[in-house]
Structure 1
C-alpha cells in the first residue's frame, strides 16, 4: 500500500446534509489511495460532529481504489521505512473508521484492490455493480496485506475462504462478492455512486440516535458474551424508548403517519 497526495485545492473530506464524505482516491491518479484523505479523514473521525449521521467513502470515477502508487515504492531510497510510514498513516484512518459510531457506506465501482479492498471490508454497507471486482493484490508485489484485511476478511467470508483469497491473490467478481458479503448490494453500474449517496443521506436523515446505539451494540458484540450483549441491548432499548427518536417513532406508528425524526 502506498499513498498519493491530492491537490490542495480539492478537499477530500467534506460534510454535507449530515454526511461525512471521504474521497479516498486522489483525482487524476488512476484511483491511487489519497494520503491527504487518510490524514484529514482520521482527524474528522477522531472529532466527529454529533450532527453527522453517516460516513460515505467515495473512490475514483471508474474504479473505487486500485491501491497504492507502485512507482513510489520503486523510487523510495529505503522502501521498508517508506512503507512503514505510509502504513501508519493508512492505519490511523482505518482505526478511526472501524470504530466510527455511525454507518459507513461505500459506492464501489470497478476495482477495489489492495488498500481499496481493505477499506471495503470496513464498511457497513458496500454497494457495487456488475463491473465491481475485488482483489488483495498484495502478493503480486511480494507484499503482505495491510488495512486490517487479514482481520476483517476471515470474519466476513470465513477462515478457509479468506485463506484461499489472500494466499492465491484471487479476483472476486461482483456476484461472488455479494454472495460472500463483501458487497452488500448490487445495482446498475451507472447508479452505484448515486445510490450510495442516496443511502448515506437517508441514514443521516433518520433516527440517528437509534442508529448510533445500534452501531455501538454491533461493535461491542465481537468481544461480548451473549449474556453481556443481552444486558447491553436491554440498556440501549430502554434509553431508546425515552429518546426523542423513540418517542416520535412510537407516536408516528400509532398515529399512522411518517415519523419526523430529528426535528
Structure 2
C-alpha cells in the first residue's frame, strides 16, 4: 500500500511504515494521521507480518503536528482544535502499543513533539547519529500528548522528563541514548542496514511471546496508559482556548519571538 503521505512496504515478514512528506519534515497533517492509522491497522491484520518498522523519509522521522493546519483549526474554532488528540493521536498510540507484534522506531532524523510520542509508543528505538530530538509542546503553550507524559518519564526518569518537557530544549541522539530515549545509536551510513538486521531478528523471534511481553509491560503502567491519554487530551483542549497557545502558534508560523502572558 502506498499513499501520498504514508507508505507500507512488506518485505518477507517485516512491514515498514514510512511517514513520507519530506517538504513538511513528515509533520502530522490530518491526511497523514488518517493514513498512519490505516497503515497500523493493515499490518495488524496481515498474518504474514511478524515485525513492524516505523520510520520517516528524508531528514526527519516526524516533526510533530503540522502547525499551519493547526493554526487554521484554532482560527476556525479553538474549542475543537485539539479534538485531534482524542480523534487521532490517542488511537494511533493505542494501536501501536497494543499491536501484537514488535514495533521498532527507526529514528532517521528530526523527532519532536508528537513525533517523539510516536517513537516512544514503539517497543524498541534505534536512532541515526544525526537525529535530533525534542518535546516542543511547552514552546507553543501546550502540555504533552501522544502518551509522552508517561512514556518519556518511564524512559528517562521523572526528573529528566520534567526538565525536557518544561524547558523544552532540543537534545542530540547521543543524549537520547545516554538518557534512555533510544536503545541503540548507529552511524548514518549504516543506519538502514542496522534497522533491517534488527527488524529481521524480531521477525524471526517468538511473536506470540513478544505479544504477551508487550501486554505485560504496558499493564505495568501506573496509571494505565489509557488513563494518561485521556488526561493529556483533556488538558490539551483546555490549553487550546488560551491566548498563550493561540499567540504562540501564530508567532511560530510568522517566525517571530513568542511572548507568554500566562492566560
Interval containing the TM-score (normalised by the shorter chain): 0.7 to 0.9
SS of residue paired to 1:121: helix
Instruction: Give the drift of 1:210.
Output: 3.6
Query: Residue 38 of structure 1 aligns with which residue?
Result: 36
CA–CA separation in structure 2 for the residues paired with 1:152 and 1:10: 26
> Which residue number in structure 2 is paired with residue 65 of structure 1?
62
Instruction: Give distance in 2, aligned partners of 1:133 and 1:9.
Output: 25
TM-score under structure 1 length normalisation: 0.73
2:210 maps to: 211
Higher relative contact order (CA 8 A, sep 6+): 2
**Residue ranges of structure 2 left out of the alignment (5+ in a row):** 223-263
Q: How far, CA to CA, are the matches of 1:215 and 1:127 in structure 2? A: 18
**1:146 Cα deviation after fit:** 1.0
Question: Does residue 1:183 correspond to 2:182, yes or no?
Answer: yes
Q: TM-score if structure 2 supplies the norm length?
A: 0.73
Unaligned runs of 5+ in 1: 1-6, 224-263
Do the aligned residues in 1 keep the contact of 2:97 with 2:214 (CA within 8 Å)?
A: no
Worse-superposed segment, 158-167 or 197-206: 197-206
Helix, strand or coil for the counterpart of 2:142? coil
1:55 positional shift = 1.4
Are residues 216 and 30 of structure 1, via their aligned partners in 2, closer, same or farther at CA, if it must alter by over 3 Å? closer
Separation in 1, partners of 2:160, 2:107: 21
CA distance in 2, matches of 1:185, 1:35: 27
- Which structure is larger by alpha-carbon Rg, 1 or 2? 1
Say which SS state the counterpart of residue 143 (structure 1) adopts.
Answer: coil
> Could you say what secondary structure the match of 2:45 adopts?
coil
Give the SS at the match of 2:160: helix
Alignment correspondent of 2:51: 54
Retained in 2: the 8 A contact 1:24–1:58?
Answer: yes
**CA distance 1:105–1:42, shift in 2 (3 Å):** closer
Q: Number of residues paired by the alignment?
A: 216
CA shift at 1:147, angstroms? 0.4
Offset at 1:11? 5.2
Partner of 2:158: 159
Which of 5, 16, 21 does residue 21 from structure 1 map onto?
Answer: 16
Deviates more, 1:155-164 or 1:36-45: 36-45
- Tell me, what secondary structure is at the counterpart of 2:52? strand
Query: Conserved in 1, the CA contact under 8 Å of 2:100 and 2:208?
Result: no
